[in-house]
Amino acid sequence: MNTSPSSLRRSESSRRATLDAALDLCTERGYGRVTIEAIAARAGVSKKTIYRWWPSKSAVLLEAFTEMLVSATPFVDTGDIAKDLRTHLTGAVNVLAVPPFGPAYAGILSELHHDDQLAETVRRQLIDPRFDEAVGRLRSAQEQGQIPPDADLDLAVEMLYGPLYYRHVLRKPMQDAQDVGKLVDHVLRSLGAAER
């Protein structure tokens, strides 16, 4: 997560104050209204210090966001693939549902088309690892015979995450349990999985 040049002398307290201030402001004003000036003022930190360690506002929020998302959407294997997918997706839906994370993530996504480096970072740190984890869980289900051997697992994951992003981006957030359950069932069925 460290986007900085290597340094042994970085002030951890400045780092924390910056990340916290950034998320607070994101909640209070919305991503678009957050400014580096305000983060610096709120955190009691100089702008120079922020620019020293992060290339942009989005990078600050990304760091805060990532720290948190990882722990909120675990990937467990209880043997029941449908249940595990529901658990995972429900975690993601819940994270996006609560400020400041939903708005913050929407804001970060919005920068991806203007900032190649950020896009690369987001994919490498946030998207790809979780995507791979999801594929991995499906593969283990496949090995246990719950899913046909020729199923397209990558596509399946995209079909799971896709509607979630679609709704988030268009600000029609998913309404938790019921929606998620139906989505998982449909995706599994599309793979030719045996009905439960």
Partner DNA sequence: CGTTAAGCGAGACGGTACGTCGCGTCTTGCG
Partner DNA sequence: CGCAAGACGCGACGTACCGTCTCGCTTAACG
Angle at 45 between CA 40 and CA 50, to 5 degrees: 70
How is residue 193 annotated by DSSP?
P
Q: Does 183 bind its own copies (CB under 8 A)?
A: yes
Q: Are the CB atoms for 147 and 193 separated by under 8 Å?
A: yes
96-125 binders of its own copies (CB under 8 A): 103, 106-107, 109-115, 119, 122-123
**28 contacts DNA (rule: CB under 7 A):** no
Of 125, 131, 128, 114, nearest in space to 63 by CA: 125
Interacting residue with its own copies among 47, 124, 189, 196 (CB under 8 A): 189
CA distances from 88 to 2, 45, 71, 186 (A): 26, 37, 11, 16
**Contacting residues toward its own copies, per CB under 8 A:** 30-33, 103, 106-107, 109-115, 119, 122-123, 127, 152, 155-156, 158-159, 161-167, 169-172, 182-183, 186-187, 189-192
Q: Which residues bind DNA (CB under 7 A)?
A: 5, 7-11, 14, 17, 33, 35-38, 44-49, 51-53, 56-57
